Chain A
Amino acid sequence: MAVSSAAVQPRPSIPSRILSLLADSRNALGFGFMLPAAALLLVFLTYPLGLGIWLGFTDARIGRPGIFIGIENYQYLSDDAVFWLSVFNTLLYTISASILKFALGLWLALILNQNLPIKSFFRAIILLPFVVPTVLSAIAFWWIYDSQFSILSWALMEMGLIDNRINFLGDPENARASVIAANVWRGIPFVAITLLAGLQTIPQSLYEAATLDGASRSQLFRFVTLPLLTPIIAITMTFSVLFTFTDFQLIYVLTRGGPVNATHLMATLSFQRGISGGQLGEGAAIAVAMIPFLLAAILFSYFGLQRRKWQQGGGD
């Protein structure tokens, strides 16, 4: 009895000794390992974030550090029709582009989830719009939307659908529709491929079981696909909404906010006022005004994640 306990005792003590040895250095080691990333992020992410909020309360210009002027920038912006127009444009742009991206992306994901012959090839080429630099593909769209030589106008006129060339980027309504279309074009692949990854995790047996129970095609989608896909839809759409809301490149290339500010987003207005116009304080205030919307999107993502737990029976 005594022998066996003596033989057994050292065994748990070896890992525990290693653990205790590690525990001493664990925090120190962790600190050392975190240092490069933490330093870079603190200096170039956290500090600028704070600096941006501070700049929003100053009248800084390029080449002149500003002084604290309280909420004057925000007061000015709240009376500024262009600012409110840019807020409206941003919301319109984000909401309509996100809905279209989601609907078309989900559709494309469902198509790709069918048993296609050269699926990986299709998946690879469909991602191309996402891989190619946005500015460079936006330049291609600029040429497609050209007021004189637009290939779309030409094709529609050849088909006899329209009589006159479409003024894609010169007319406020058309310009809004055009930039949304270009954004949707770029965003569909991301949504489709991430949702496809989600679709592939749904077991086929669930569909078979539902079919045996007499579910129709739409019921299969409604009661099997959609609930199981909800968590990944929440995350994908949060990312999509976030990047659409803060979009800059596409607008800067296609319209620079014109015509008559009809396509100015908050990000482009912030650039125009802050960098081109030199009013750093005002530009920073516009950028800070985007933060509440972003927080709302992040909270949405958080609750999207929460949902996952009860959906998978708490086994997450």
Chain B
Amino acid sequence: MAEIKRAEIKSAAIKKTKRPELDEGGMGYLQSLPRRVVTVYLPLLVFVIVLLFPFYWMTITAIKPNHEMTDYANFNPFWVVHPTFEHIRYLLFDTSYPGWLLNTIIISTAATFLSLLAAVFAAYAIERLRFSGARHVGLTIFLAYLVPPSILFIPLSVMVFNLGLYDTPFALILTYPTFLIPFCTWLLMGYFRSIPFELEECALIDGASRWQILTKIVLPLSVPGLISAGIFAFTLSWNEFIYALTFIQSSENKTVPVGVLTELVRSDVYEWGALMAGALIGSLPVVVLYSFFVEHYVSSMTGAVKE
């Protein structure tokens, strides 16, 4: 009798472990639903609301007519009764905003390509050519990533001025790689490491040159890594502020973050609608890009930390 019972328990246990959904959740099935609601869903809901509220507020303000925006007594501030595109129209046609967008796109793209190009060669050399001292160079690259723009912008502004780059896009295209190259190299090093040596050895035996190995074997295999590094580098350049603020003077050369802050804020009467519209439209390109490549983005973010 006891034996039969034990066998029953055993078979039940086997059945349980074999059910995949239980296996995936680990011991999650031990939690009752009310407990899960209190410990998981409720805090998660609060987190999501707090983290997303500024974006909601940004959006709702951008399409609110001015009289509704400050009249909390008659209009519920959390909703918009008569949505308007007046602020967005003003932003796109009466300010230099489209020019800033274009500048930001050009600068971010150029800086990203420049950095990726340099980073691919550097990462390949460190990880695969293994020249003498490659390990130390790798470590130095990592340390370079830890040098923040906040301590470089003053000497860089002196350099930019002396080189005659002040107030030109090149000031930013050439300085952004200082934080993009270390990051991209570090990320790509990790990626190249995962490509088996045997593939390269085969190609070497078949008479391929190092250049052919890089362009025909390593790069095609590391496309996901290149996308990750590229997306992340692009958003980093798009978000950059302190260099753009310091090195650019004239309104038509500004990038979106700097332009919105310095040109749209003019008097004591803030045009909140236009400001929020500017912030919203300036965020959209990176958010859209991010939404297409979430997995790449996350892997590059966590990859840089894990190594």
Interface, chain A (partner B; CB < 8 A):
14-15, 18, 22, 26-27, 29-31, 33-38, 40-41, 44-45, 47-49, 51-52, 55, 60, 104, 107-108, 111-112, 114-116, 120, 122-137, 139-141, 143-144, 146, 148-149, 151, 154, 185, 188-190, 193-194, 197-198, 204, 207-208, 211, 232, 235-236, 239, 242-243, 246-249, 252-253, 266-267, 270-271, 274-275, 280, 283-284, 287-288, 290-291, 294, 298, 301
Rounded to whole Å, the gap between the CB of B279 and the closest CB of chain A is: 4
Interface residue from A40, A204, A235, A283 paired with B178 (Cβ < 8 Å): A40
Chain A residues whose CB sits within 8 angstroms of the CB of B114 once the complex forms: 40
Contact B43 A107 (CB under 8 A): yes
Interface residue from A22, A52, A135, A243 paired with B260 (Cβ < 8 Å): A135
Q: In the bound complex, what is the Cα–Cα distance between A207 and B31 (angstroms)?
A: 14
Contact A111 B122 (CB under 8 A): no
Q: List 16 A-B contacts (CB under 8 A).
A: A33-B125, A41-B182, A52-B152, A55-B154, A114-B36, A123-B298, A134-B241, A136-B260, A137-B55, A193-B301, A204-B27, A246-B151, A252-B261, A270-B154, A274-B154, A301-B146
Interface residue from A114, A185, A189 paired with B54 (Cβ < 8 Å): A185
Contact B305 A235 (CB under 8 A): yes
Chain A residues whose CB sits within 8 angstroms of the CB of B279 once the complex forms: 136-137, 139-140
Chain A residues whose CB sits within 8 angstroms of the CB of B54 once the complex forms: 129, 137, 140-141, 144, 185
Chain B residues whose CB sits within 8 angstroms of the CB of A139 once the complex forms: 260-261, 275-276, 278-279
Given A131-B235, A248-B241, A253-B261, A122 contacting B51 (CB threshold 8 A): no
Q: In the bound complex, what is the Cα–Cα distance between A115 and B22 (angstroms)?
A: 10
B 82-120 binary contact with A (CB < 8 Å = 1; else 0): 000000000000000000000000000000001001110
Contact A143 B182 (CB under 8 A): no
Contact A48 B159 (CB under 8 A): yes
Rounded to whole Å, the gap between the CB of A105 and the closest CB of chain B is: 10
Interface residue from A35, A55, A136, A271 paired with B242 (Cβ < 8 Å): A271
Residue of chain B at shortest CB distance from A157? B72
Contact B48 A243 (CB under 8 A): no
Chain A residues whose CB sits within 8 angstroms of the CB of B205 once the complex forms: 14, 18
Does B24 have its Cβ within 8 Å of any Cβ on chain A? yes
Does B227 have its Cβ within 8 Å of any Cβ on chain A? no
Residue of chain A at shortest CB distance from B264? A139
Interface residue from B26, B129, B272, B301 paired with A26 (Cβ < 8 Å): B129
Instruction: Enumerate B150-172 residues with CB–CB distance to A below 8 Å.
Output: 150-159
Q: In the bound complex, what is the Cα–Cα distance between A204 and B9 (angstroms)?
A: 22
Chain B residues whose CB sits within 8 angstroms of the CB of A52 once the complex forms: 151-152, 154-155
Rounded to whole Å, the gap between the CB of A21 and the closest CB of chain B is: 9
Q: In the bound complex, what is the Cα–Cα distance between A158 and B261 (angstroms)?
A: 31
Interface residue from B147, B150, B182, B204 paired with A248 (Cβ < 8 Å): B150
Q: In the bound complex, what is the Cα–Cα distance between A35 and B27 (angstroms)?
A: 52
Contact B146 A298 (CB under 8 A): yes
Q: In the bound complex, what is the Cα–Cα distance between A303 and B305 (angstroms)?
A: 15
Residue of chain B at shortest CB distance from A25? B210
Contact A34 B125 (CB under 8 A): yes
Chain A residues whose CB sits within 8 angstroms of the CB of B235 once the complex forms: 131
Contact B283 A133 (CB under 8 A): yes
Does B50 have its Cβ within 8 Å of any Cβ on chain A? yes
Chain A residues whose CB sits within 8 angstroms of the CB of B146 once the complex forms: 242, 294, 298, 301
Does B291 have its Cβ within 8 Å of any Cβ on chain A? yes
Q: In the bound complex, what is the Cα–Cα distance between A291 and B155 (angstroms)?
A: 15
Q: How many chain B residues touch A (Cβ–Cβ < 8 Å)? A: 98
Contact A185 B50 (CB under 8 A): yes
Rounded to whole Å, the gap between the CB of A49 and the closest CB of chain B is: 7
Chain B residues whose CB sits within 8 angstroms of the CB of A125 once the complex forms: 48, 51-52
Contact B131 A40 (CB under 8 A): no
Chain B residues whose CB sits within 8 angstroms of the CB of A18 once the complex forms: 204-205
Chain B residues whose CB sits within 8 angstroms of the CB of A248 once the complex forms: 149-150, 241-242
Chain B residues whose CB sits within 8 angstroms of the CB of A211 once the complex forms: 27
Residue of chain A at shortest CB distance from B47? A108
Q: In the bound complex, what is the Cα–Cα distance between A198 and B298 (angstroms)?
A: 13
Rounded to whole Å, the gap between the CB of B27 and the closest CB of chain A is: 6
| Most B CB within 10 A of own CB, among A41, A144, A193, A301 | A41
| Most A CB within 10 A of own CB, among B48, B114, B150 | B150
Interface residue from B55, B155, B282 paired with A51 (Cβ < 8 Å): B155
Chain B residues whose CB sits within 8 angstroms of the CB of A280 once the complex forms: 154, 157-158
Rounded to whole Å, the gap between the CB of B117 and the closest CB of chain A is: 7
Contact A41 B178 (CB under 8 A): yes
Contact A132 B287 (CB under 8 A): yes
Interface residue from B40, B58, B177 paired with A40 (Cβ < 8 Å): B177
Contact B241 A239 (CB under 8 A): no
Does B306 have its Cβ within 8 Å of any Cβ on chain A? yes
Contact B150 A246 (CB under 8 A): yes
Contact B26 A208 (CB under 8 A): yes
Contact A298 B143 (CB under 8 A): yes
Q: In the bound complex, what is the Cα–Cα distance between A243 and B148 (angstroms)?
A: 8
Q: In the bound complex, what is the Cα–Cα distance between A143 and B265 (angstroms)?
A: 12
Rounded to whole Å, the gap between the CB of A145 and the closest CB of chain B is: 11
Residue of chain B at shortest CB distance from A108? B47
Interface residue from A51, A143, A266 paired with B61 (Cβ < 8 Å): A143
Does B70 have its Cβ within 8 Å of any Cβ on chain A? yes
Residue of chain B at shortest CB distance from A245? B148
Chain B residues whose CB sits within 8 angstroms of the CB of A128 once the complex forms: 51-52, 55, 287, 290
